[in-house]
Amino acid sequence: MIISRTPIRISLVGGSTDIANFYRQYGGAVISTAIDKYISVRITKRRNAQIAINTPDHRETVPSPDQIQHPLIREAVRKTNVTGGISITVTSD
């Protein structure tokens, strides 16, 4: 089981210009802050090869990362090279 708890970040200026693919090409500068609210992610193993996604407003179970509808979760799973057998639960304050 993997559990992560991260403070919510509010970008005041610069938006997503701190993302590597953007700033390597264009440069970037941001002013942001974190607030006393959190996002938590829990990843657990499943008994089958499917990937289950659970958020407050979205649920899905799919056979492969490419079929995950939630774009941020899909790309995070792709980046880890996990192909299945996990449940991902995302909650926030």
pTM of the entire structure?
A: 0.78
- In the predicted model, what is the mean pLDDT of residues 21-33? 84
Mapped to the 3 state alphabet, what secondary structure does the chain carry? CEEEEEEEEEEEECCCCCCHHHHHHHCCCCEEEEEEEEEEEEEEECCCCCEEEEECCEEEEECCHHHCCCHHHHHHHHHHCCCCCEEEEEEEC
Q: How confident is the model at residue 19 (pLDDT cuts 50, 70, 90)?
A: confident
Q: Is the pLDDT of residue 87 over 80?
A: yes
Which one is the CATH code of 2-92: 3.30.450.60, 3.30.230.10, 3.40.50.1970, 3.30.70.1400?
3.30.230.10
Q: How confident is the model at residue 82 (pLDDT cuts 50, 70, 90)?
A: very high
Map out the domains of the chain as residue ranges.
2-92
